[in-house]
Every structure is written in C-alpha cells, then in structure tokens.
Chain A
Amino acid sequence: MLKGDIAEVFRLIGRSVAEGLKSIWAHGLMSLASVGTVTVSLLVLAVFLLVAANLSYVADVLESQVEIVAYCNPEFDRQWEGELLDKVESIPGVGEVLFVSREDALDRLREQFGSQADLLSAVEEDNPLRDSIEITVTDPDRIEEVAAGVSEIESIQDVAYPREVVQRLYSVTEALRAAGVALVFLLAAATFLLISNTIRLTIYARRDEIEIMRLVGASAAFIWGPLVVEGLFLGLIGAGLAGAVVSWGYADLINSLQLSLPFLPLLDTEPLMGNLIQLLGIIGAFLGLLSSWFSAQRYVRI
C-alpha cells in the first residue's frame, strides 16, 4: 500500500514536471516575458546588493583605517614613552599603538608637501608639532569610548578622530540598505504579478482540460502540480539568467576598475558571486512558487 503511494507521488511529480515544462514551451512569448521580468528584477536586485555589499566593504575598510590621534602635552618627557604606550594599550578596544615623535611628524609633513617642501623651512627651526600617539581601534563602533579613555591620561592634551566621516559612512550604508529592502519588495511584487499572470494564462489555455480533470475527480494536487512547476521553473530560469549576466558583468567590472582605480577596495568575485547566485536562485524559486500557487488557488476551483 505504502509502496503504491510512493509510486503514485513520483508519478504525480513526474507528470507535473513534464506538463509544466511543456506549458512553458507552449506559451513562448508569455513565458519569455515572465522570465524576462524575473531576470530584470533579480538583476536590479543583484546590482543593488553588489553596490551595497561593496559600499559596506569600503565603509568597513575605511572604518578600520580610522584612527585616533592623541596629542601629548608640549612638556611631555620622552623617557616616559613606554609607560605612556602601556597605559594607552591597557584601554579596552585599543588595537595598535604607534608613537610618532614631533620630528617624525615633521618628516611626514615634508613628504606630503613633496616639491613644495621648502615652504616648511619657516617652521623647521622651531618645530611647532607635538609628539603624538596613533591608535587604531579593534571595533570602529567603540571609537568614541576609546577616545574618551585616552583623553583621560595625564600626559595627553587632546584627542582627535574623524567622527563625522565614520558617522556619515554609517548613515549612507544604512540608507542604502533601507532603499534596497524597499526596492526588493517592489520588484518582488512586479515579478509576482507577471508570473501569476502567466500561470493564469496557462489556466485559461487549459481550461477545458482542467474542467474535465475536476469533473472526473482528479485531486487538487494533480491539477495544481503542473501549474506550480511552471511557476517554479519560470522563476528559476529567470534567476539563472540574472545570475549569469551578473557574474559575467561583475568580473568584467572588477577587472577594469582595478586597472583604473587600483586603490579602491572592492570585494572579490568569490565567494561573493557564489552566494549571490544562490540567493537569486532561492528568491526566483520562491517567487515562482508563491505566484503560481496563488494563481492556482485563486483561478482553479476544485
């Protein structure tokens, strides 16, 4: 009995797949339109995700490069350098610590000025710069906390860190994420409508067949199976195309960008593309299933 049931289920699945695929083929243009929308929607989604991922990566890189500069008192005696550094390092959240003497600072400045370094000749006799400590933080979120801790150390006169840059980057990334979520819902709705419409067309084209199936007592699963499979495949094909386009395009973009803007931090194609294609596939399949199920429920009375 059970064996028979399992065979029955396999037959049902087999027939659903065969009929569903046949139907996709039979509806050439409409199927193409559905697959096209799925592709476009998922492509836009993919581009969005890629931009967001890269921006957030850039933000991370920048954030991790953000450092606190703590300026010492002008009277700071360099024999306490080691002690001072120990104090700074003992503050929780502190990453690396580098002592920059006022002479080193002047050298750096000279380097930055390059050919115009002679402008600095006025200050060279009496170096106005102070000794400083450059501090990186282990977690960019804790930068304020660390800065506050550092400023409490006696020999430190004041502390500087680019608070605004960090916050602006944060808000851009946040806004991008919010916009991305909204856009994804919008595109998902469009895709849903198109696929469910295609399925409706199938239902219309097969109305005679479906009516007879109903009248002779075919089960709901038997009638809906092919419709749901058709939706599923429309979603999957669309996702596959979007995935192909995006992985080809991204690799190309990365190559040309890295030639012209070598310092721009960009995410590598792997594992990014693998994950993205998986995600597109899941979304495509889910949308296809959902919209065809909706149409089947709504337009086929049992």
Chain B
Amino acid sequence: MIVLSHVSKSYGDICALDDVTVSVSKGEFVFLVGPSGAGKSTMLQLLYREEVPTEGSVVVDNLNVTRMSRRHVPMLRRKVGVVFQDFKLLDSKTVYENVAFVLQVTGAPAPFIKRRVPQVLNLVGLSDKEKSYPEQLSGGEQQRVSMARAIANSPRIILADEPTGNLDRDSSWKIMRLLAEFNRRGATVLVATHDWPIVDAMQKRVVEIEQGKIVRDDAQGGYSGSVSSDRAIGR
C-alpha cells in the first residue's frame, strides 16, 4: 500500500529524512514514534505530497507520488485522509458543515452528502453535535469531528500526525480506539505519536525514527525498544 525506498528529504542543510526504506501493507496499523524533529511529520507529509522527497521514491496505493504531476495530486489526496494535532476545523462552520465541506469540495452529489455526513458523525459518536460550532466542543470532540471529516471520503489510507497531542488521557484513548476501528474496517492507518502509554498498550507495529533514520521496526511492540522487552513496566 505504501512503499518508501531510499527516501531522503533535506531542507537546505537540515536533513529531515536520511535514506529511509519502509513499506506498509494494506490493512496494517503502524505507529511512527521518535523524538520531536526526528522526521515523523515529514514522512507523513511525503505520503500526501505536501512535501516531495529530495531523493528516493514514494509509492502510495500504486501511485508514484514522486513523479506525480500537480494535476494528479487531488486524486492522491482523495485516497488519503489526514488527521492533525490541531484539528484544522473551520470555526465558522458547524460540525455538520465541516464534514460536508470536504464532500462538497471533492464534488460529491448532494444526496450522497446528506446520507454520508450523519453516518460518519455517528461512527465517531457525535450525532448529537451536528449543529454545534467547533468552539463549543471539547478538544477530544473537535478531534473526533476532524476524524469524521478525514474518513468522509472513504479513504483507503488514514494518516494521523500527533492526533492526541493536545488531548487528555480519556479523549486520547477514544481517538486511538477510533483509529483502530477505521483500521478494522479496512483502512491502512499510520499514526505519528509521542503517546507512549497508548503505543505500549496497543501492541501494534512500531517504526521508530531518530535523526531521519529508521532505528527500529517491530511487527508488534511498544513505544521504546528497550522497554518493549518488559513492556509491563512502561517507561
């Protein structure tokens, strides 16, 4: 589903990713961990072509992202749902409108939108907040709206960049459970996170990046390699 081979990305003198090769199969759930500035965000950005690699190739769902012309970028992005730490909701629109917006701008027919929005809001447990504005919601609720928005187009891949970075424990768990639920329904999910208790508890595939290099790739592991052997202790 996702193949990065020998990918490097540098911004001037700063090297964000250094010869990274990794692949993710269809239906996998992968945690991307590592210290801030290690290159996790850059890696996700390469997948929805917010960034283009300096070297190497990126293939997402059989599309060669590296050689893709600008005209085809929208097609790629419709296959990829992205969730951000800061939610990126439109404050002037209601919950319903925020979700409907992505369907409208990608040209979905109105009857479909009417059916689809309540569906995804129900999935994230916010059916009763349709008419609320983002600022009337808690952080966790806002992130769930942004997740409803990310899956509205039924993307095959979901990328989450620190989705729980601004949330309390309880809300964080809700978000992660939702991501796992999307994964169970068939989406390939990549989550960049610092949230070690959750990573430790979920025991999914963990790819650890440090200074732009992959230093660990456990098929089933915890947040930090050294602790993953006796993961019960945590860190």
Contacts and interface: CB of A to CB of B under 8 A. Distances in A.
A302 B82 CA distance: 16
A214 B104 CA distance: 13
Contacts of B132: none
Contact of A216 (B50, B70, B78): B78
Contacts of B101: 209, 212
Contacts of A15: 104
A277 B88 CA distance: 46
B6 interface: no
A213 interface: yes
A215 B82 contact: yes
Interface residues of A, number: 17
Given A8-B107, A302-B70, A214 B88 contact: no
A222 B82 contact: no
Interface of B, helix, strand, loop or mixed by DSSP: helix
B36 interface: no
A217 B78 contact: yes
Contacts of B22: none
A218 B74 contact: yes
B48 A215 contact: yes
Contacts, number: 49
B74 A208 contact: no
A59 to B, nearest CB: 54
Q: Which 5 A-B pairs rank lowest in CB-CB distance, beginning with the nearest?
A: A217-B77, A217-B78, A218-B105, A216-B102, A217-B74
Interface of A: 8, 11, 15, 208-209, 211-220, 222, 302
21 contacts: A208-B88, A208-B90, A209-B101, A212-B101, A213-B105, A214-B77, A215-B77, A215-B88, A216-B77, A216-B78, A216-B102, A216-B149, A216-B153, A217-B73, A217-B75, A217-B77, A218-B106, A220-B70, A220-B74, A222-B107, A302-B74
